[in-house]
Structure 1
Amino acid sequence: MNASTATARASLPTLVVLALGTVYLIWGSTYFGIKIAIQSLPPLGMLGVRFLLGGALLYGVLRLRGVPNPRRVQWGWSAVVGLLLLGGGTGLVTLAEKQASSSVAAMLIAISPLFASLFSNLWGERTSGREWLGIGVGLVGIVLLNLGELRATPLAALLLVLAPLCWTFGSALARRVTLPDGLMGAAAEMLTGGALLLLLSPLVHEHWRTPTPASLWALAYLVVFGSILAYSAYMYLVAHTRPALATSYAYVNPLVAVLLGVGLGGEHLGHLGWLALGVIVLGVVLVIWPRSEAAKGRAA
């Protein structure tokens, strides 16, 4: 092993921790940002603008730095993955938030690690017993939350179950198809996914009106932080970590979303809800706790 390889391996844990922190904190806040943005902007149209702008900015910077343009096959798979992640995943969440609080939206998305483990097992990747335990504990927390004050309409709840199904399938697919390397992959997925969302917007009869300043500020936050920073960090995790760890953000995001929803959005959470959040945090600890060398060997 040469010195550069040793350095890369030594720096990987730090990069993973930074990527996890970025996804945990920023994506937890985007549920509240989406709620503000769609007060005066159409849901799918807003997302289309968000991802097109984020993708275009990232693509432009990468091209200026000499990163090669994706090949045709890479653009094609980027469109498929982008549609699953951004259209099916984020798009359905955004539509659901018309009939659900930002807190409950983040909570129901916490079933993502379960879907991720199911898909990874279908493709031959093993999930450890402790990861399954953590997923189960997290789901118990979700049940407790839905016994409390935070609820959604049946349609919103259905959309919030379908969203992580699309997202995790797209994440699993991204590990197995030909995508651009590094950040160019995130840029291509945002560009193609954003374009598809803008095409879908008029098909579902969305209408544009003059946006409020609050919605525009929320959109700007979603473009820079939710798309460019957090989405790029997530695609790094998809490429370099096991599925249960990459999707563990789904257990931390509810905590951030609830704190913002309660603190800034006027949402209410009682004793049962706080207990549920504690259970969810326990679940994510079980999922992200480092594996032993023996467990890694069995998973391989």
Structure 2
Amino acid sequence: MQSATIPPPAASRASLVVPALLACYLIWGSTYLAIRYALESFPPFFQMGTRFLTAGALLFAWQMWSARRARRDCVFPDRTQWRNALIVGTLMLGGGMGLCATAEQTIGSGLVAAFIAVTPMWTCGWGLMFGQRPGRLEFVGMTVGVAGVVLLVRGTSFAASPVGVAAVAGATLAWSLGSVLSTNKFRLAPGAMGFASEMLCGGAMLMLLSLAMGENPVWPAQPQAVLAWLYLVVFGSLIAFSAYLYLLANSSAAVATSYAFVNPVIALFLGVVLASEHVAAGEWIACGVIVAGVFLIFRGKTASNPK
């Protein structure tokens, strides 16, 4: 007989949704600035590859230790789940995070975060491939989001860096496609072991890309870059990324991607205040339009999926 003090599995899952959302909102909003600081010593793909390999290895080892402590067998991902982790990890981490860091070499961290806010729009678009038709409000939100992106890339920061624009656009497309595929076609192993396998596979792919591109970190590394890298490993990867994958598995896609209209606000504020990044008046307006579009998509999805 179950004790009244122990919540049923459904209640436990529901109770973790809010903390997971806060982790994605607050931590990910600050990681854009951390990526910029880490770039002082660690080039984009090397930075992201070492970040996710380290986080994945730590999470994998923790799962094995927890199983041994509980005197139970550790359930490792099977061959299919490792394949899925490689596909999703290549898209979300290799493409999404690697290209995001590449864009921050030439574009301010806050503006990159604002562009990435259109991820829910791309998620809706990829969903069409699997028969997920957007509702009227979602379609309006997608239209508004596109208008905001057009305004943003016409600003001085993006106009001066076509390579940065291509990188951040590719990042959003790869991340959103990986998010969609992870929920229907290529499911990961359950729980933290699935998160660890994706980070290990994505990190390995990032390191291969780093080697292929001839990236070379700067040694000795700047203390600020090292601290930023450690922040990305512990908070950005182990906590926030795991929280995001948890939301994808235990809530609607709209809820999981709602971080996209909170992160730009935090990232822009931190970039301007702490890193003296310049944001023109027109770019502020474009950011507002993008956030409005994302909010409409979120409202449309929650209205059509009230549960």
The normalised TM-score by structure 1 is 0.88
Question: Separation in 1 of the partners of 2:136 and 2:154?
Answer: 27
Deviation at 1:106, TM superposition (A): 1.2
Question: Separation in 1 of the partners of 2:241 and 2:19?
Answer: 13
Partner residue, 1:255: 265
Percentage of matched positions with identical amino acids: 42
Q: How many matched pairs?
A: 295
Partner residue, 2:180: 172
Deviation at 1:22, TM superposition (A): 1.3
Question: Separation in 2 of the partners of 1:84 and 1:33?
Answer: 22
1:50 aligns with 2:60: no
Partner residue, 2:70: none
Correspondence list, 1:1-300, <5 A: 7-66=8-67, 67-151=74-158, 152-175=160-183, 176-210=185-219, 211-289=221-299, 291-292=302-303, 295-296=304-305
Once superposed, what is the RMSD of the aligned Cα atoms? 2.6
| Contact persistence 1:149–1:268 (CA under 8 A) | no
The CA deviation string for residues 172-191 of structure 1, in whole angstroms up to 9 with x for no partner, is 11122242101211111111
The CA deviation string for residues 49-82 of structure 1, in whole angstroms up to 9 with x for no partner, is 1001111111111111114121222112211111
Q: Secondary structure at the match of 2:102?
A: helix
Question: Separation in 2 of the partners of 1:10 and 1:51?
Answer: 31
Q: Secondary structure at the match of 1:247?
A: helix
AA matched with 1:291: T
Deviation at 1:149, TM superposition (A): 4.9
Deviation at 1:122, TM superposition (A): 1.3
The CA deviation string for residues 263-295 of structure 1, in whole angstroms up to 9 with x for no partner, is 111112344444444444433433334734xx3
| Contact persistence 1:145–1:276 (CA under 8 A) | yes
Classify 1:72/1:259 alpha carbon distance in 2 versus 1 (closer, same or farther; 3 Å): same
Q: Secondary structure at the match of 1:205?
A: coil
Runs of 4+ in 1 over 6 A off after TM superposition: none
AA matched with 1:75: W
AA matched with 1:179: L
Question: Separation in 2 of the partners of 1:156 and 1:272?
Answer: 19
Deviation at 1:36, TM superposition (A): 0.6
Question: Separation in 2 of the partners of 1:122 and 1:29?
Answer: 33
| Contact persistence 2:114–2:287 (CA under 8 A) | no
AA matched with 2:134: T
Q: Secondary structure at the match of 1:127?
A: coil
| Contact persistence 1:120–1:243 (CA under 8 A) | no
Which one is further off, 142-151 or 221-230?
Answer: 142-151
- Could you tell me which runs of 5 or more consecutive residues in structure 1 were left unpaired when the two chains were aligned: none
The normalised TM-score by structure 2 is 0.86
Classify 1:119/1:29 alpha carbon distance in 2 versus 1 (closer, same or farther; 3 Å): same
Q: Secondary structure at the match of 1:132?
A: helix
Which one is further off, 241-250 or 157-166?
Answer: 241-250
